[in-house]
Structure 1
Amino acid sequence: MINVEEEIVPMSLFFKKQYNLKKLLAEQKNPQNNFKVISVVGTNGKGSTSNYIYKNLYKNNKSVGLFFSPAFIYHNERIQVNNQWIEDEILLKIIEDSKPLFEKYELTFFEIWTYIAIVYFNLKKIELAVVEAGIGGMKDATSLFENQIAVCLTSIGFDHTDVLGNKIENIIENKIKIVKNNNKIYTTINNYKYDDIFKSFVSNEIIYCEPTNNLTYQKYNQGIAKEVLKLFNIQFDANTNVPLGRQSVLKEDPNFIIDGCHNFNGAEELVKSIKDLDKYTILFASSKGRENSEMVAFLKSKCKEFYVTTFDHFKAWELNLVNEDNKVYDWKQFLNDNINKDILVCGSLYFIPLVYRWFMGGK
Structure 2
Amino acid sequence: MIEEKLKYLYSLRRLGIKVGLEHTFELLSVCHNPHKRLRVIHIAGTNGKGSTSSMVASILETAGYKVGLYTSPHLIKFNERISVNGVHIPDEFIAKFIEKNKKHIQRISSTFFETTTVMAFEYFVKQKVDIAIIEVGLGGRLDSTNVVDPLVTAITPISLDHQHILGSTLCEIAKEKAGIIKKGVPVVVAKQKIDAKKSIISAAKKMNAEIIETGNTKNLKYSQSGTEFSFMSEVFLTPLFGRHQSENAATAIQIVRQFDKKIENETIQKGLSQTVWLGRMQKLSNKLPIYYDVAHNIDGVKAAISAAITTQNQKPHILISFKGDKEIDLIANEISKNNSSLIISGSKNLELMSANELYSAFKKNVNRTEFSKIDTLDVALSELINRVKKTNKTGLIMGSHYMAKPIFDKFGILM
TM-score when scaled to structure 2?
0.80
In 2, are the aligned partners of 1:346 and 1:352 still within 8 Å (CA)?
no
**Separation in structure 2 between the aligned mates of residue 189 and residue 132 of structure 1, nearest angstrom:** 18
**Separation in structure 2 between the aligned mates of residue 84 and residue 254 of structure 1, nearest angstrom:** 29
One-letter amino acid matched to 1:218? Q
Where does 1:1-363 land on structure 2 (aligned, <5 Å)?
7=7, 9=9, 10=11, 11-16=13-18, 20-145=23-148, 147-191=149-193, 194-203=196-205, 204-212=209-217, 213=229, 216=242, 217-230=244-257, 231-232=259-260, 233-234=262-263, 235=265, 236-237=268-269, 238-252=272-286, 254-274=288-308, 275=310, 276=312, 278-290=314-326, 292-313=328-349, 315-322=351-358, 323-324=361-362, 326=371, 327-342=373-388, 343-360=395-412
Q: 1:317–1:162: structure 2 CA closer, same or farther, 3 Å change rule?
A: farther
Task: Identify which range, 261-270 or 90-99, moves more after superposition.
Answer: 90-99
**Separation in structure 1 between the aligned mates of residue 50 and residue 68 of structure 2, nearest angstrom:** 14
**Separation in structure 2 between the aligned mates of residue 44 and residue 15 of structure 1, nearest angstrom:** 20
**Separation in structure 2 between the aligned mates of residue 104 and residue 354 of structure 1, nearest angstrom:** 37
In 2, are the aligned partners of 1:211 and 1:221 still within 8 Å (CA)?
no
Which SS does the other structure have where 2:97 is aligned?
helix
Q: Percent of aligned positions with the same letter in both sequences?
A: 27
Q: 1:302–1:63: structure 2 CA closer, same or farther, 3 Å change rule?
A: same
Report the count of equivalent residues: 359
**Separation in structure 1 between the aligned mates of residue 313 and residue 374 of structure 2, nearest angstrom:** 20
**Separation in structure 2 between the aligned mates of residue 250 and residue 361 of structure 1, nearest angstrom:** 8
Higher helix proportion: 2
Deviation of 1:77 after TM superposition, in Å, equals: 1.1
Deviation of 1:253 after TM superposition, in Å, equals: 5.3
In 2, are the aligned partners of 1:282 and 1:305 still within 8 Å (CA)?
yes
In 2, are the aligned partners of 1:277 and 1:302 still within 8 Å (CA)?
no
**Separation in structure 1 between the aligned mates of residue 144 and residue 384 of structure 2, nearest angstrom:** 42
Deviation of 1:69 after TM superposition, in Å, equals: 0.6
**Separation in structure 2 between the aligned mates of residue 16 and residue 189 of structure 1, nearest angstrom:** 29
One-letter amino acid matched to 2:70? F
Deviation of 1:127 after TM superposition, in Å, equals: 2.7
Which SS does the other structure have where 1:144 is aligned?
coil
In 2, are the aligned partners of 1:291 and 1:321 still within 8 Å (CA)?
no
**Separation in structure 2 between the aligned mates of residue 66 and residue 194 of structure 1, nearest angstrom:** 26
Which SS does the other structure have where 1:148 is aligned?
coil
One-letter amino acid matched to 1:240? Q
Q: What is the aligned-residue RMSD (CA, Å)?
A: 2.5
**Separation in structure 1 between the aligned mates of residue 26 and residue 248 of structure 2, nearest angstrom:** 34
**Separation in structure 1 between the aligned mates of residue 55 and residue 384 of structure 2, nearest angstrom:** 34
In 2, are the aligned partners of 1:291 and 1:317 still within 8 Å (CA)?
no
Q: Deviations over 1:95-129 (max 9, x none)?
A: 22221111011011111110110121121122310
Q: Deviations over 1:286-331 (max 9, x none)?
A: 1135384521221121001112221245642354433235322112
Task: Identify which range, 286-295 or 30-39, moves more after superposition.
Answer: 286-295
In 2, are the aligned partners of 1:41 and 1:133 still within 8 Å (CA)?
yes
**Separation in structure 2 between the aligned mates of residue 168 and residue 94 of structure 1, nearest angstrom:** 38
Q: 1:171–1:143: structure 2 CA closer, same or farther, 3 Å change rule?
A: same
One-letter amino acid matched to 2:213? Y
Structure 1 gaps of 5+ residues are: none
In 2, are the aligned partners of 1:255 and 1:341 still within 8 Å (CA)?
no
Structure 2 gaps of 5+ residues are: 218-228, 230-236, 364-370, 389-394
